[in-house]
Amino acid sequence: MVSDLFPTPENTSEPQPDSNARRSFMKQAGGILGLALAPPLVAQAERLTAYSRTIEGATDLTLRINGQTRTVRAEPRVTLLDALRERLDLTGTKKGCDHGQCGACTVLIDGQRVNSCLTLAVMVQGKEITTIEGLAQGDELHPMQAAFLKHDGFQCGYCTPGQIMSGVACVSEGHAKTDDQCREWMSGNLCRCGAYANILAAVREVASKG
């Protein structure tokens, strides 16, 4: 069985970040598959269950981020947030509380907003991850980014990437049709500067433009 989580180089047509990473990935992919079948590290039940995957220690994880396939060497305990910020130089996604209470780390996975701080990177391989860096088309801002600028939807800016990602999802879900509905469905993103009124105006404007 060819797993979509561990694509072979042949079925990976997406651009790779650099060729060294690709070579390293190929080596490691072999290592992972070997590990899954190695008796000393894997319990009897898992060896008997051909469809199980077992990962222990650092391995190369393959993530689809903003339309690119990226490889990151990480232990299973590494969160998506830390993989993005510490390993992949995608520091637009912010670490606020790191416990799912503030929304600063909000990203989209398969188009749905989630807290990347409570998401293990190993578990989202094969899914389409969108971060704040993936919104603009070149120099052209995403309408939500433009609306935050226009309405001054931030002061210190730390919660802003999460607010914008959540705002994009809020509109696409159809949960920004009234001010009250928008407030409720943006409640997973805290802004300690208190820019809520302007954040609301920005999200509502994008929603009203359909």
Partner 1 sequence: MNQFQYVRPTKAQAAIEAVAKDPNARFIAGGTNLVDLMKRGITAPQKLVDINRLPLKQIEHQGSSLRLGALALNSVVANDTQVRERHPLLALALNAGASPQLRNMATVGGNMLQRTRCTYFYDLSMPCNKRQPGTGCGALEGINRMHAIFGHSEQCIAVHPSDMSVALVALDATVQVSGPRGSRSIPFADLHRLPGTTPERDTNLEPGELITAVDVPDSPFTKHVHYQKVRERASYAFALVSAAVALDIENGIIKAARLALGGVAHKPWRLTAAEQVLVGQPATEETFRRVAAVAMQGAKAFKHNEYKLRLAPNALIQALKTAAAA
Q: Which residues bind partner 1 (CB under 8 A)?
A: 43, 45-46, 49, 51-57, 75-77, 79, 98-100, 103, 106, 112-115, 118-120, 122-123, 166, 169-170, 173, 175, 183-185, 187-189
- Which single residue is written with the structure tokens 């302007």? 198
Are 53 and 34 contacting, i.e. CB atoms less than 8 angstroms apart?
no
Exposure b/e, 156-184, CB count within 10 A at least 16 = b: eebbbbbbbbbbbbbbeeebbeeeeebee
What is the smallest separation between the CB atom of 195 and partner 1, expressed in angstroms? 17
What is the smallest separation between the CB atom of 13 and partner 1, expressed in angstroms? 24
Burial of 196 (C-beta count, 10 Å sphere; 0-12/13-18/19+): middle
Closer to partner 1 by CB, 21 or 118: give it. Answer: 118
**Distance (Å, rounded) from C-alpha 145 to C-alpha 114?**
19
Closer to partner 1 by CB, 2 or 45: give it. Answer: 45
Closer to partner 1 by CB, 147 or 170: give it. Answer: 170
Are 28 and 59 contacting, i.e. CB atoms less than 8 angstroms apart?
yes
**Distance (Å, rounded) from C-alpha 82 to C-alpha 71?**
14
What is the smallest separation between the CB atom of 59 and partner 1, expressed in angstroms? 9
Closer to partner 1 by CB, 113 or 151: give it. Answer: 113
Closer to partner 1 by CB, 76 or 143: give it. Answer: 76
**Distance (Å, rounded) from C-alpha 1 to C-alpha 35?**
16
Count the alpha carbons within 13 Å of 95 in the hemisphere toward its beta carbon. 14
Are 93 and 35 contacting, i.e. CB atoms less than 8 angstroms apart?
no
